Structure 1
Amino acid sequence: MEKKSGQSTGRRSPWWREWWFILLVVLVVMLIALLCMRQCGCCERVVVPEAPVAPEAPKVEAVAPPVEEAPKEEPRKEIAFDLSKLRPVPWGIAANGYVEDAATFSKRFEDMVAIAREKQADEVEFPVAAVRYDLRGYDLSKVEQELVSAVAAAFRRTSQEGKLLVEGYTCNVGSDEYNEKLSRRRAERVGSILKGAGIAEDKVEVKWYGKTKYGTLPGVNGLEANRRVTVTVVK
């Protein structure tokens, strides 16, 4: 039966004319080819080289300029000072006078020791002590005994060359005989205390004058001032 002109026959185009079908076939073929290439090792992995990393700049530590040390002073060499080797000598009565209490005597003696140390001397001035008495008195009070003990202590610290001269005086009241005995008792009492304080007997010399030397002591005036015993260092 013949088709009428201008009417659709109702038949579809062949499959190879469909564009999407062709595209699908091409994709399948490409996929198969890609798989084959990977299995055969033909597809090499492309490694993108890493960008070179610049090496770190070396750390430069700030170096402080050297500090110049101040020159060290050498320790001062102390010259050995041995008081026990110093020879005691009497100080001048006219300039220094007599010492009448223990505290003052010890202070004056330490002052003399300091001067001797500074000068590196071989001798030290020894203060002159004076014990004063009431009229007809010869016993020593506690204060006066401390003075005599201070004299002994200072002398023992030296070389103890020479002697301690103990001299007894009186005023001019009374007879010559009475004053001679009184001055002797005063001087011997002081000498006894010195020996009891550690001074050897041959280092203590005792003298007494009664009233024969009244008014002859330097810087001593009046009756009361002449009633005394002095202790002096002598050769």
Structure 2
Amino acid sequence: MRGPLRRAGMLTTSVVAISLLAACASRNAPLEPLQKARAAVNTAMNDAKVVQLAPLELKSATDTLAQADTAWTKEADATEATHLSNLAVRRAQIAQNVAQTRQLDADIKQAGVNAERQRLQGDAARAQQQADQARAAAAASATAADRARQQTQAAQAQVKDLQARLNELQAQQTERGLLVTLGDVLFEFGKAELTSQAAPRLDKLAQFLTEFPNRKLLIEGYTDSVGTAAANQTLSERRAASVQSALASRGVAADRMTVRGYGKDFPVADNASPEGRAMNRRVEIVIADENGNLRSRR
């Protein structure tokens, strides 16, 4: 009997040894979901904006990854490790989208141009909605998270670009449209010819109009109350026509521009003082909004 018992004991010992070796091999073998989770969390950790703007969401992702590592390397629980790995990927994606959304909010707060603020806020709301939708989709798809990030970056670029251009134009938002005013100092004294000082502003205005080719504009000339009504009317029309000609020479299509002269009508200041008269001698350029709305005076 001693022989069979000895063989049985040896067999039991072999089975235990094989089981231990299998467990060790399982823990040492790579787990694909865990590898993907490590890559996703590392990507989020290497993004400075995520680290700065979404620290709590990023910590949630790193903590979940650590739990997945423990489940696999110490407990060899593939099911739990896979579940935690997938959860870590989703939380890393959420951290990235939260950072993008918060960055967009900060950019909008810096927009200092009253002229287009309402439109910019509308764009931001749509971008926020897209970011929210992308963040929800990121729970199931990394591809959706990438698309949301690209959309957010594009929206940020549009906001910054438009803000900069409006600042350069010194534009004001009015009920009639976007208003750019050219003062009397940009014209020869008592004449319709533009001075060389007008060139930089006209260059910037023409560039803006070229980039928004669907926007039409009104070019309106005004004078002070000095002189006869007929002379003022003629001068206001000629100055408006000079601006039209200058813009046309810079590539703005003639059929986009309507020229009018109003003489001494519609003053913006009191003609009793030299300063007030100087403010009234002007050319106003009214640009249609993004919907094409453009209101003339009469």
Task: Please give the TM-score of this superposition, normalised by the length of structure 1.
Answer: 0.47
Higher strand share goes to which structure?
A: 1
Task: Please give the TM-score of this superposition, normalised by the length of structure 2.
Answer: 0.38
